[in-house]
Structures are given as structure tokens and as C-alpha cells.
């Protein structure tokens, strides 16, 4: 099973495509981040870096 990587979301899916559909619907701003884990989000919603504010 594949977990939804969105922080705080506890859903699990049988397939990656199912998870992608869920993320596109429930977490649309993360749709371009589906290949990354929730801990490695480079871009915030507005395009600014969340982990390195000095960049």
C-alpha cells in the first residue's frame, strides 16, 4: 500500500495512480510534488522555500 505523503493525511492507497488522483483532488497544490516525500517539500504553495527561507 502507498501512503498519502501529505502531512497529516493518513490515507493509504492500493496503487500510485489512486494516490495521485486523491492528491490532485484533496491536496491540489501538492500535485507537482507527488514524487517527493512530505519531508522534502522544496516549494511552498506560493513558490517560496519552506525549509531554507534565506534562499
Domain ranges of the chain: 2-33
Binning pLDDT at 50, 70 and 90, where does residue 19 land?
very high
DSSP H helices in 11-54? 16-26
Its pTM stands at 0.46
Q: b/e per residue, 11-43, with b = 16+ CB within 10 A?
A: eebeeeeebbebbeeebeebeebeeeeeeebee
Chain centre distance of CA 13? 14
**Which helix (H) or strand (E) is 13 found in, with range?**
strand 12-13
Query: 4: buried, middle or exposed (CB in 10 Å: 19+, 13-18, 0-12)?
Result: buried
Mean pLDDT value of segment 25-40: 60
Amino acid at each position: 500500500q502507498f501512503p498519502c505523503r501529505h502531512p497529516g493525511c493518513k490515507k493509504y492507497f492500493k496503487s500510485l495512480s489512486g494516490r495521485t488522483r486523491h492528491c490532485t483532488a484533496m491536496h491540489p497544490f501538492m500535485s507537482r510534488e507527488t514524487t517527493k516525500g512530505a519531508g522534502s517539500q522544496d516549494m511552498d504553495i506560493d513558490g517560496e522555500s519552506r525549509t531554507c527561507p534565506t534562499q
